[in-house]
Amino acid sequence: MMETIINHGRPSNGAAVSQFKRSTPYNRIVGSIPHPMSLHCVPNSRTHDRWDANLPPVAEVASGDTVILDCLDSSGAQLSPTSAVADFVAMDRNKIHTITGPVFVRDAQPGDVLQIEIRRIEHRGWGWTSIIPGLGSLPERFTEPHLFLWKLEKDFSYSLAPARLPLAPFLGIVGVAPEAPGPHRTRPPGPFGGNLDVKDLQPGTTLYLPVFHTGALFSAGDGHAAQGDGEVCINGIEGPMEAEFRLTVRKDMRLDEPFAELPPRVSKVADLGSWAFIASAPDALSAAKNVVHHAIDFLMDRFSLSPQLAYTLCSVALDLRLSQIVNQPQITVTGTLAKSLFPKAS
């Protein structure tokens, strides 16, 4: 497939916009917008691992065009389906979050909004999840590195027996160039989007991001084949993906933070109910950590999983949510695991 490559100098940026005011109600943002049938494909050799508005664009598209990004896994192809924990330990951490882009969108100016229709995301049949000492939600409990490799079928993975894990691919990083001069590491998200790790940003979703620089400078990557809300061990199922987007400049909108419209939820499995783990503490992080501890202990006791595999499964399947933030001095967090993960036990 052909890619559209800019072979001239990067257009100069407009003045940065420090604050956005909403001028359009959310219930009026969707309208009839013409979309020319123009397709652009960007290979996974056109990547970067820092946000920086001074990076030269790898492709230029018109508003309304469709772009297909070939995305490496978050290691930047340092891991493979045959990697061992020693390979993981030896990785160059400066290459983490290798993302494809940036794509220059014509007519996008600071103060505009980039409408990103997520049309298709496909995994490549494998992925990995790790435990990294000092990171994740429970660094005090898990102090040694661990790597788990997943084989991915079309809709499920059976790699972590006896669990049957539904797959729901999405990209953890979808963003435009941040307002502040770069370079910036890609881990922290912000108003520009970036490493949001919102698993709801699946095909059928429309994401809206404020534009800070001429051309918007859109990039995406960090594919996850599955992830729980919380991504508690530091990873979802990390893997290479191909993603298709339609990019449209909206001059009739103003945003100061990301906003998305989500499609109806569609489940690959019957709803068999859930196991819920509930904890309260003076702060949400402490309550969430207690929930994760309880869920790990449950998986170890009920299904004889090792602590590392229980933690791994929680990262890709446990959904954390705030249940209440008003009953001071305690905040309550609930974590749920679908019973359909273990159909023979349900």
Phi, psi torsion values for 121, nearest 5 degrees: -140, 125
Query: How do strand 259-261 and strand 206-210 relate by DSSP bridges?
Result: antiparallel
- What's the pLDDT score for residue 26? 34
Query: What is the predicted pLDDT for the residue at 346?
Result: 57
What is residue 345's predicted lDDT score, i.e. its pLDDT? 76
> Does the pLDDT value for residue 13 go beyond 80?
no
The helix-helix angle for 307-317 and 284-303 (nearest 10°) equals: 120
- Beta-carbon-side half-sphere exposure of residue 243 (alpha carbons within 13 Å): 35
How high is the pLDDT of residue 8? 26
- The pLDDT, as a whole number, for residue 268 is 86
pLDDT band at 95; cut points 50, 70, 90: confident
Residue 94: per-residue pLDDT: 86
26-261 placed in CATH 2.60.120.580: yes
pTM for this predicted structure: 0.88
Kindly give, in sequence order, each residue whose CB lies less than 8 Å from that of residue 27, ignoring residues fewer than 6 positions away: none
Question: What top-level class would CATH report for the domain 274-345?
Answer: alpha beta
Position 37 scores a pLDDT of 55
pLDDT at 21 over 50: no
Q: pLDDT tens-digit profile of 155-174?
A: 999 999 999 999 999 999 99
- pLDDT tens digits, one per residue of 105-155: 999 999 999 999 999 999 999 999 999 999 999 999 999 999 999 999 999
Q: Which of 189, 253, 260 is nearest to 222 (CA)?
A: 189
- Is a pLDDT exceeding 90 seen at residue 307? yes
Provide the mean pLDDT of the chain. Answer: 90
pLDDT at residue 34, rounded to an integer: 44
Residue 22 has pLDDT above 50, yes or no: no
pLDDT given at position 267: 87
Q: Is the pLDDT of residue 325 over 50?
A: yes
Residue the block writes with tokens 């290459």: 95
pLDDT classification of 27: cutoffs 50, 70, 90:
very low
Distance CA 327, CA 55 (A): 47
Q: In degrees rounded to 5, what are phi and psi of residue 258?
A: -60, 150
The mean pLDDT value for 5-17 works out to 30
pLDDT tens, 187-216?
Answer: 999 999 999 999 999 999 999 999 999 999
User: Per-domain residue ranges for the chain?
Assistant: 26-261, 274-345
Kindly report, residue by residue over 239-287, the tens digit of the pLDDT: 999 999 999 999 999 999 999 999 998 888 999 999 999 999 999 999 9
The H or E element that residue 165 is part of is strand 165-166
pLDDT band of 6, cuts 50, 70, 90: very low
Residue with tokens 């307002």, as numbered in its chain: 179
Q: Is the model's pLDDT at 24 over the cut of 90?
A: no
